[in-house]
Structure 1
Amino acid sequence: MTELADLTAVELVAGYRDRSMSPVEVLDAVLARVEALEPALHATYALDPDGARAAANQSEQRWRSGEPAGPLDGVPVTVKENIATAGVPVPQGTAATELLPATTDAPAAALLRSSGAVIFSKTTMPEYGMLSSGVSTFHPLTRNPWDLSRTPGGSSAGAGAAAAAGYGPLHLGTDIGGSIRLPAGWCGVIGLKPTHGRVPVGVPYPGRAIGPITRTAADAGLLLAAISGYDRRDHTSYPSPGDSFSGPLDLAGVRIGLLLDAGLGLPVAPEVASAVRTAANLVEKAGATVTEIGPIITREMLDGLDRFWRIRSAYDLQALPPERRAKVLPEIRDWADSAAGLTGLEVFHGFSQMGEMAVAVDQAFASYDFLISPVAPITAFAAELAYPTDDPLKPFEHIAFTVPYNMSGHPAVSVNCGYSREGLPIGLQLASPRFTDMRLLSLAATIEALVERRTWPGGCSG
């Protein structure tokens, strides 16, 4: 029998409605799971069992009276540490941050609360969210539930680990270059970076997005619908389209571009390429037309973005008092300090490459309904490493498949498509035209049904 902590949000809401289960008993099961696994995983920050139990009790009363607050009433949810929640400091994964409680909920967190969700914990992130790992000077090292010697990915490190370990069904992450999809891929779960602006963020920035990390596409759709909408704090946000997840996609006549070689960065491991190609073959047999395509972005684009981000981080670190700057992870300091010799022309050129990426991605969609690729060229690397290259001056060699969709604003999702010889999950990335997020999740649901799923890690049932 599936444990309460492993039930999907869709199943929980149905159970609350027919009174076969209660928000209080579900929360207790989730907290028990956290207590059992957290000493090894270190995925949570600011765990709040008392506040969550109070919220679960209130939810239970609403369900008993037949007046749920919204579509997520009573469902346990975690929120990534950099999404502000009132009363909780936002350290940004670094010991260099002054710990001041947030005064208000960020837009996405406020939407969660209004839907009745029970936020029981924040989740960890690495230093300033600029690493695809769980390495942080503030949080203990976050590890991957499938193999504790490996990273869960980042920067939504704790969210990815929590989803795979069964810390409840719904987790909110952020993504500016792959920070939702990379941990989702390496932890074997669903991770959606929505169309830019669909989910309001507290501090808008080119490429920055907030989205669901879940075990199923249906749950991702449920969460996405609840957190979509306009908020004046984000000038790039727009009103919710009011759409909803509609189940697996009929692939008859669907045109898919298959990208197996990014043309730059780390080479794709043979077992990753094999798993992605096998998934593409399954999709083709189900009715889609699959055509292999060439690289979308160039070395110049990725290096330009890297230079711009280095100077942005150098500016932020320079503003810190010396005693706080000294606490920043050395790899991040080395990366940012390398920008010191850049000229204004080089920085502007770097900024322009973000736009060049957007144009390149948009052109790639001219002939296809979806683009599919690996999420990352490799499986999860050693947990202790800040970067898979172990080189702070080569930090982005693994994001050539993910970062283009941040710059272009297109929705992109990770779905599991197999496992390595060592039993590590392999992520398949799916992307679609802007504003087709729910249709993209329908394709993810189709692939979920086609690809064999192994039992969840940590003794969790699946």
Structure 2
Amino acid sequence: MPFHNPLEGAGELCRMDAAALAKAYRTRSLSPVEVAKAAMDRAEEINTDLNAFTHIDRDGALAAAAASERRWKDGASLSEVDGVPTTLKDIVWVEGWSVRYGSTTTPAQPYAEDAPSVARLRKAGAVFIAQTTTPEFGWKAITDSALFGVTRNPWNKAKTPGGSSGGAAVAAAVGAGVFHLGTDGGGSIRIPASFTGIVGHKPTFGRVPAHPLSAFGTVAHIGPMARSAADAAAMLKTMSGRDLRDWSQGAGKLAPLDHEAPINLSGKRIGYWSKPASGALDPEVAGVVDAAVARLSATGAIVEPVDLPADNLLDLFHHHWFTGAAARLSSIPNADRSAIDPGFLEVARAGAAYSSTDLVLAQLRRGEYGAAMDLLLAEYDFLVSPGTALPAFDAGLEVPAESAFGRWTEWAGFAFPINLSQQPACVVPCGLTAAGLPIGFQIIGARGDDARVLSAAASLEVIFSR
């Protein structure tokens, strides 16, 4: 199947970024209503083929857009993102929407309150146009479920967009909205960003509040997905802050999100991490990313090879992820479990087999690894790596056909280590395979340093576009 750019066929209103929309709203050359209509039309246009949306809220979005239009007309906009069309993953609470977590075991009934991230976006005037697909409980790095079916990659419908925020990635890639809320417990923002050629940012843990807490615990992050680093930064700034319902945030005292973008990378000391924590790096991906690193070095950045400061991170991640799956499964009645994704059941049962001592020891190992990563990021301004070790593979499969992998975690070795250590990490596109599939480039910073990571990502967008 031939590839194509997902923005082909998208109108001009579907290509504009948040800053351009705010300028147009302020001068009244555009209305949030017409922009919301264009975004939802685009969502409906692509959904039959790509299956990225569980629900398109045309009535609710048009009412919110009309209210935004009145505010801009009166000079009383709520923020610079007032009226920006936004999608929300089917894993965060949204007042008035049914949130199913991609599962047939969850009730189809509207929620009574917003998650903190959603509430902050709503308070800023973002217009919620649609809900995006996820695998059941967001457990794997592709996007399909018994409830909503298989989500497909807009560059090639035969391929997966990755996951678990696959629907959000597709929405961003095709121009169906500007802001897209994703979650990332083991790469679920960055993997689909890499597979679909968009920007995905996993924030420092605690930057964006969570309620209710994920069953997957403190490896699970909430973050922005967009077509540019600038839009991801604007969305992150809107969602961030302290919420007393999220005790795991700690005191919530993180560096402010006020760096300008892009920044000059000349003279910055950058570690190049090129060996995934599990699996092997695809030679074609390696070639494209090596070329991107060479372009980065040509700007004056000081790039040096680095390895992660720990071994057997796959086993460490499994202790955290699999026990999280077991905790999630424990809340589901036995009578409903026959309808659950068999892969999720296998992972949950493996998690239930760990002892309490195993889990405590894993937490101690994680603490040692996290401290070592903090020390490494004190030595380097940034780390960079491939976004994924391989390009998108066939849709509907957890692992590539004829591979030796048993679980998705085995090919996600550039993703889950940064969930364990909780640093901010952003993926930007850096090239295409010979078959026309996107390849992502990941940049990682010290905890709390989201603004500099996003500023550096904006610099990389410029470098890679030359």
Residue in 2 aligned with 1:250?
264
Residue in 1 aligned with 2:236?
224
Closer/same/farther in 2, CA of residues 376 and 344 from structure 1, 3 Å limit? same
- Aligned AA (2:76): E
Closer/same/farther in 2, CA of residues 294 and 134 from structure 1, 3 Å limit? same
- Aligned AA (2:430): C
1:32-181 aligned within 5 A: 32-181=41-190
Equivalent in 369, 392, 396 of residue 381 of structure 2: 369
2-structure distance, mates of 1:324, 1:116: 39
2-structure distance, mates of 1:2, 1:419: 24
Closer/same/farther in 2, CA of residues 211 and 340 from structure 1, 3 Å limit? closer
**Structure 1 position 350, deviation (Å):** 3.2
Give the SS at the match of 1:397: helix
Residue in 2 aligned with 1:419?
432
- Aligned AA (1:260): S
Deviations 1:355-374 (A, max 9, x none): 23312322322321000001
Is 1:185 the counterpart of 2:216? The answer is no
1:350-429 aligned within 5 A: 350-388=362-400, 393-429=406-442
**Structure 1 position 318, deviation (Å):** 3.6
2-structure distance, mates of 1:409, 1:354: 11
**Structure 1 position 270, deviation (Å):** 0.9
Residue in 2 aligned with 1:337?
349
2-structure distance, mates of 1:25, 1:319: 43
Give the SS at the match of 1:441: helix
- Aligned AA (1:328): I
**Structure 1 position 100, deviation (Å):** 3.6
1-structure distance, mates of 2:407, 2:421: 23
Residue in 1 aligned with 2:450?
437
- Aligned AA (1:49): R
TM normalised by structure 2 equals 0.92
**Are the counterparts in 2 of residues 221 and 245 from structure 1 also a CA contact under 8 Å?**
no
Deviations 1:224-276 (A, max 9, x none): 111111111112332675533512111222100001112x4221011111111
Residue in 2 aligned with 1:321?
333
Give the SS at the match of 1:396: helix
Give the SS at the match of 1:174: strand
**Structure 1 position 315, deviation (Å):** 3.6
1-structure distance, mates of 2:211, 2:426: 22
**Structure 1 position 137, deviation (Å):** 1.6
Q: Which moved more, 1:132-141 or 1:384-393?
A: 384-393
Give the SS at the match of 1:320: coil
Deviations 1:293-352 (A, max 9, x none): 1244322x3213213432332243244222211110111112222345434433333333
Deviations 1:90-121 (A, max 9, x none): 21111122334221000000000110100111
2-structure distance, mates of 1:339, 1:222: 37
Is 1:206 the counterpart of 2:218? The answer is yes
Q: Which moved more, 1:62-71 or 1:313-322?
A: 313-322
**Are the counterparts in 1 of residues 405 and 411 from structure 2 also a CA contact under 8 Å?**
no
Residue in 2 aligned with 1:3?
12
- Aligned AA (2:102): G
2-structure distance, mates of 1:297, 1:334: 27
Give the total of aligned pairs.
451
Task: Give unmatched runs, 5+ long, in structure 1.
Answer: 454-462
**Are the counterparts in 2 of residues 214 and 220 from structure 1 also a CA contact under 8 Å?**
yes
**Structure 1 position 353, deviation (Å):** 3.4
TM normalised by structure 1 equals 0.93
- Aligned AA (1:26): V
Closer/same/farther in 2, CA of residues 340 and 20 from structure 1, 3 Å limit? closer
1-structure distance, mates of 2:229, 2:87: 17
**Are the counterparts in 2 of residues 373 and 430 from structure 1 also a CA contact under 8 Å?**
yes
- Aligned AA (2:42): R
Percent of paired sites with the same residue: 39
1-structure distance, mates of 2:324, 2:461: 39
1-structure distance, mates of 2:173, 2:463: 20
**Structure 1 position 223, deviation (Å):** 0.8
Give the SS at the match of 1:451: helix
Closer/same/farther in 2, CA of residues 308 and 406 from structure 1, 3 Å limit? closer
2-structure distance, mates of 1:357, 1:89: 39
- Aligned AA (1:125): T
Equivalent in 188, 194, 200 of residue 203 of structure 2: 194
2-structure distance, mates of 1:355, 1:410: 13
Aligned-pair Cα RMSD in Å: 1.9
Residue in 2 aligned with 1:311?
323
**Structure 1 position 289, deviation (Å):** 0.4
Closer/same/farther in 2, CA of residues 319 and 436 from structure 1, 3 Å limit? closer
2-structure distance, mates of 1:74, 1:47: 16
**Structure 1 position 427, deviation (Å):** 0.6
**Are the counterparts in 2 of residues 259 and 373 from structure 1 also a CA contact under 8 Å?**
yes
1-structure distance, mates of 2:265, 2:171: 32
2-structure distance, mates of 1:344, 1:242: 38
Is 1:261 the counterpart of 2:279? The answer is no
Give the SS at the match of 2:150: coil
- Aligned AA (1:55): A
**Structure 1 position 177, deviation (Å):** 1.2
1-structure distance, mates of 2:292, 2:318: 32
**Are the counterparts in 1 of residues 115 and 212 from structure 2 also a CA contact under 8 Å?**
no
Residue in 2 aligned with 1:457?
none
**Are the counterparts in 2 of residues 7 and 168 from structure 1 also a CA contact under 8 Å?**
no
**Are the counterparts in 1 of residues 399 and 406 from structure 2 also a CA contact under 8 Å?**
no
1-structure distance, mates of 2:234, 2:320: 36
Closer/same/farther in 2, CA of residues 320 and 78 from structure 1, 3 Å limit? same
